[in-house]
Amino acid sequence: MRKFFLAAAVAVAALFGSAASADAAYQIRVTSVNGAGTVVGTTTFNGTQNADGSGVTLGSSSSLPGFSLTIVNDIGTSGPNFVSSSFTLNVTYTGTVTAAGPPATTSNKLIVEVLASNLSAPPVGATSFITSNGSPSTSGLRANSVVMTSGVISGNAVFGAAGTTLGGQLGATLGTGTMGNGIVSSVLNPNPANGVTFAIPSDPFTFYQTYTLSGFTNRNQTGSLSAGSTLSATPAPAGLVLALAGMPVFGLGAYIRRRRNVTAKV
């Protein structure tokens, strides 16, 4: 009987998940790549993190070749069955603009990577999905391409070589759009971007997001990008939850009835 209760308790715990048990390492890396594809500057910001898997980076500024930028905030939150990140970046572009020429020119590219490692919620095996949304807005800065991605990587991932982004992501989302170009703001498409469902691969795992801005067509202007992604475990069917939750009760009832029958016969 004791074994039966233990098995049922394990099943329910696996179904609902458990709280994140380890600190998350929140890092943001920004990299400037020139028109020839050469990395010309990179900076990494290390945010603070909490025991529940949440974290924050506030007011970090940097000057890279072609860019002056401020990470207004990157706020991570975590619970038993989700982890999310909300990100706001202000950018001023001072480099070469993209133009057909003559002579033809290509602007710098800005790559922003947000990495949250050492996560354990949702739990291993939980069927999960990622939802991302974003809105680049500007008072004057124009860029022909804004690309946002997010995904999960097994284990504690670390940044690759500057100017590259990590591959092998599970449940990846993709949103694309522009910045400025005659309108006050441009929403990424699709918005939200939804990834396919997948199983959490390991404990710990890494939640990884990228934002790539390129094709700037003016300079000495400032723009802003606000975006975020949420990784969530899909809820279990209500009937299954009820069945698992009720198993110990049904087992106890059967045990009591058997005891009563034995007593009556004696």
Q: What is the three-class DSSP state of 88?
A: strand
Q: Is residue 252 part of a domain?
A: no
| 82-93 pLDDT per residue, tens | 999 888 999 999
Report the candidate in 122, 257, 18 with the shortest Cα–Cα distance to residue 9: 18
Q: How many domains does the chain have?
A: 1
Q: Is residue 258 part of a domain?
A: no
Q: Is residue 158 part of a domain?
A: yes
Mean pLDDT of all residues in 185-211: 92
pLDDT greater than 90 at residue 20: no
Q: Is residue 246 part of a domain?
A: no
pLDDT greater than 70 at residue 258: no
| 154-171 pLDDT per residue, tens | 999 999 999 999 999 999
Record the pTM: 0.79
Give the range of the structural domain holding residue 122, as residue numbers without chain letter.
19-235
- Judged on CB neighbours under 10 Å (0-12, 13-18, 19+), 122 is buried
- Identity of the amino acid at 28: I
pLDDT value, residue 242: 36
pLDDT, greater one: 136 or 67: 67
| 96-116 pLDDT per residue, tens | 999 998 899 999 999 999 999
CA angle 114/117/119 to nearest 5° reads 125
Q: How confident is the model at residue 75 (pLDDT cuts 50, 70, 90)?
A: confident
Q: Give the C-alpha separation, 168 to 240, whole Å.
A: 32
Q: Is residue 253 part of a domain?
A: no
Q: Is residue 187 part of a domain?
A: yes
Q: Is residue 188 part of a domain?
A: yes
Q: How confident is the model at residue 74 (pLDDT cuts 50, 70, 90)?
A: confident
What percent of the chain shows pLDDT beyond 70? 75
pLDDT value, residue 24: 56
pLDDT value, residue 182: 60
pLDDT value, residue 17: 33
Residue-averaged pLDDT of the chain = 79
Contact 58, 73 (CB under 8 A): yes
Q: Is residue 145 part of a domain?
A: yes
